[in-house]
Amino acid sequence: MLKQIVLITVSSLFPASVALASVKWDVGLGLESRVQSDVNPDFADFKTAPQLFTQVRMHPWAVLVEFGHEEGRTDSGGFSVDTQTVSLGAWGRYAFIEPERWSPFVSAGLGGNFDRVVSRYGKAEDERRGTRLFAGTGGGVGVALWKVLLLEGEARAVLVQDRVMPLLTFSFRAGVRF
Amino acid sequence: MRFSLSLSLMLWLASFAVGCAESGTSCGKKALLLWPDAKGEYQFQSVPLSTSPHRLKSEAAEVYFDAAYSPSGYRGGVAEPRLTNSNGLCVPMDADSSLAVNAFAQFESLHRFEKRLGTVSQLSWPRKVGVQIRMQDQNGLSHNNAHYISDFDVIAVVPFSQPGLPLALNQGILAHEHFHAHFQSQVLLRLDRLRPVISWVENLFNPLFPMKPTPDQTGDDLWSVVGMNSFVLRGWNEGLADLFGSIYTGDPEIMGESIPQLAASRSLLGPVGPLFTGADVRNVLVRSLNPRKSLMDMSYQQGTQLARLLYRLASIHPEDAPAFLRRLMLRLPEIAPRIEPRYKSGVMDFEMILPILLGDQVDELDDEACGLIEQVVSKAMMQSEFARCLNKSY
């Protein structure tokens, strides 16, 4: 049912280039490494987080949907902050070559980080939920080995709400195509 | 179709991106901070700021994080905390960000407090504050302390590793360090020709910032009149700083939440006793196996005695404690010219500062105030400076 809905939606956006037989799906895991400025803006912080992705392709276009989750705790003395972030993004892509060979692509997308922040000190505790929208552009290269195994790498520059400086992200993804 | 779709998509994305960049302040000018409530208990509260907390810079303060310092202050850019938007409230997403935003908010609060007191012009603003400043002392990486660095006119809070309230969140301690800037500008810098010695003494209290001594500064200066008087000055500085922090916060025990081992010794609710004379200071030096440490301990202990007396006087002041503090701070410039004749000739008594600070209030002292003062000062001083009290029955 979902596949039908997506195909109808995509068909309406690409009336001149729809070929139902050329629609391909990818599902897999990714690893995103993020370079962002530290609280001291003269330093950069480097973080890595896993992601799940699914992608629908009708060459040369594709739409990639990513889902990520990360959490962490920081503290100073008796004061601590626990943070959980669920990220959801959708990226449109244009691939220059059929991915049966190494194929470069460019991308643009947007999404949201949905945060849960729990701050604690002694008996005082506060839980808040926040949102940080993001948008960005990028580029990368991918290949479908044996027409089934998808491997790709991508670099992006991402603007995030409530961040002064943009993020640079580098992702590696591996998945299956069907 | 494909081209126009691409163009539309890129234009929309670009406008969205520009919108994002310009609306980095989406969470507004209120931040979730650990802040004392009306009872003085630290709770998480929404605290308004003069500007969005994405870059911690305003007319009141500049906050730096894990930064190096220089003669012009701190190097590099001001702190940029990590925040998320929770219904228009900026929520720090990690402890570092929270410490930085909290220090910023505290100095904005201090700026407003000083405007109400009428003492804001005694200092230059914005105040430069460093949080999580990493530096070495004789024991390695310094922890659990905060300093006013007079040579750079900055405040530095080093990392905190004890179980209590981090120093960067402790309003009383930050106010204490902030007051040292007032004493520096209104007292010490007015003793201009004595500045090199003052820097030398400061080295003992701030071993993180060893200054190259000038040729006449050796360990033997400890035994000089000026050397010993520098410890008297330090005691006044520390005591008045504790008083400032306590009146600003309304908490007479500003150390306890962060450094419980100092809670009792630095509590302003402790017993009041006589202040040391110059002869007592000499005796500390002569009788000690570790003169430097003994003199430093004496400075803190006598400072606390001074602060306890003044805190009690503030508590019974006919106006209110901040009004009493205001009058004291406006008297700070009187200290240097009044003590300078004695500064090089003889070791000062700790009580010397009291008639200077209370000079415009002597005629207003009631029985209770006179009784408190008599517990602390010598009979000679009561007769010479507080004679009015001798006519009272208390």
Q: Where do the H-state alpha helices sit in chain B?
A: 2-22, 95-117, 171-183, 195-205, 225-249, 263-266, 278-287, 291-315, 321-330, 335-343, 353-357, 367-376, 379-385, 387-390
In which residue are the tokens 């110059």 written? Answer: B278
In terms of Cα–Cα distance, which of A61, A50, A49 is closest to A103?
A61
Q: How far apart are CA A57 and CA A64, in angstroms?
A: 9
% of chain B beyond a pLDDT of 90: 69
For B108, the 3-state DSSP assignment is: helix
For B164, the 3-state DSSP assignment is: coil
Q: What angle do CA B161, B166, B172 make, to 5 degrees?
A: 140
Contact criterion met (CB < 8 Å) for B2 and A110:
no
Nearest by CB to B95, which of A42, A74, A132? A74
Q: How far apart are CA B80 and CA B60, in angstroms?
A: 17
How far from the centroid of its chain's Cα atoms is residue B61's Cα?
A: 14
**Mean pLDDT confidence for B373-390:** 91
State the pLDDT confidence band at B127, using cuts at 50, 70 and 90: very high
Query: Does residue B211 carry a pLDDT above 70?
Result: no
Q: What is the dihedral of CA B119, B257, B306, B237, to 10 degrees?
A: -50
Q: How far apart are CA A154 and CA A53, in angstroms?
A: 13
Enumerate the residues of chain A whose CB falls inside 8 A of the CB of residue B162.
77
Contact criterion met (CB < 8 Å) for B16 and A132:
no
Contact B149, B156 (CB under 8 A): yes
State the pLDDT confidence band at B66, using cuts at 50, 70 and 90: very high
How far from the centroid of its chain's Cα atoms is residue B54's Cα?
A: 25
Structure tokens at A84: 């959980």
Contact A171, B33 (CB under 8 A): no
Question: Which of B23, B89, B93 is the best mutation test for A, with the most CBs of A within 10 A?
Answer: B93
Query: B240-251: string of b/e by CB count within 10 Å (b at 16+)?
Result: bbbbbbbbbbeb
Give the model confidence (pLDDT) of A30-43 as tens digits. 999 999 888 999 99
* HEC secondary structure over chain A: CHHHHHHHHHHHHCCCCCCHHHCEEEEEEEEEEEEEECCCCCCEEEEEEEEEEEEEEECCEEEEEEEEEEEEEEEECCEEEEEEEEEEEEEEEEECCCCCCCEEEEEEEEEEEEEEEEEEECCEEEEEEEEEEEEEEEEEEEEEECCCEEEEEEEEEEEECCCCCCEEEEEEEEEEEC
**Mean pLDDT confidence for B138-151:** 86
Q: Give the length of chain B.
A: 394
In which residue are the tokens 């949201």 written? Answer: A112
Q: What angle do CA A69, A74, A80 make, to 5 degrees?
A: 115
Q: What is the dihedral of CA B174, B175, B180, B181, to 10 degrees?
A: 90
Q: Crossing angle, helix B225-249 and helix B278-287, to 10 degrees? A: 110
Enumerate the residues of chain B whose CB falls inside 8 A of the CB of residue A121.
34, 42, 44, 165, 169
Query: Does residue A104 carry a pLDDT above 60?
Result: yes
In terms of Cα–Cα distance, which of B151, B144, B182, B191 is closest to B329?
B182
Say what the pLDDT of residue B201 is: 57
Say what the pLDDT of residue B240 is: 98
Q: What is the DSSP string of B315-341?
A: HT-SS-HHHHHHHHHHTGGGHHHHHHH
Query: Does residue B233 carry a pLDDT above 50?
Result: yes
Give the model confidence (pLDDT) of B270-284 as tens digits. 999 999 999 999 998
Across chain B, what does the average pLDDT equal? 86
Nearest by CB to B84, which of A37, A136, A162? A162
pTM: 0.88
Q: Which amino acid type is present at position B84?
A: T
Nearest by CB to B9, which of A43, A79, A108? A108
Across chain A, what does the average pLDDT equal? 89
Q: Crossing angle, helix B195-205 and helix B225-249, to 10 degrees? A: 60
Q: Which amino acid type is present at position B127?
A: R
Contact criterion met (CB < 8 Å) for B34 and A124:
yes
Say what the pLDDT of residue B341 is: 86
State the pLDDT confidence band at A6, using cuts at 50, 70 and 90: low
State the pLDDT confidence band at B135, using cuts at 50, 70 and 90: confident
Say what the pLDDT of residue A178 is: 84
State the pLDDT confidence band at B204, using cuts at 50, 70 and 90: low
DSSP state of B211: P
In terms of Cα–Cα distance, which of B84, B93, B98 is closest to A161?
B84
Contact B156, B147 (CB under 8 A): yes
Interface of B with A in 73-102 (CB under 8 A): 75-86, 89-100
Contact B378, B279 (CB under 8 A): no
- B361 C-beta neighbours (distance < 10 Å), count: 16
Query: Does residue A7 carry a pLDDT above 80?
Result: no
Q: Which residue of A has its CA nearest to B7?
A: A108
Give the model confidence (pLDDT) of A66-93 as tens digits. 999 999 999 999 999 999 999 999 999 9
Q: How far apart are CA B139 and CA B161, in angstroms?
A: 15
B72 or B59, which is more confident?
Answer: B59
Contact B26, A161 (CB under 8 A): yes
Distance from CA of A123 to the nearest CA of B (A): 9
In angstroms, what CA-CA distances link B236 with A24, B274, B323? 78, 14, 20
Domains of chain B, by residue range, sit at 208-394
For B1, counting Cβ atoms within 10 Å of its Cβ (0-12 exposed, 13-18 middle, 19+ buried), the class is exposed
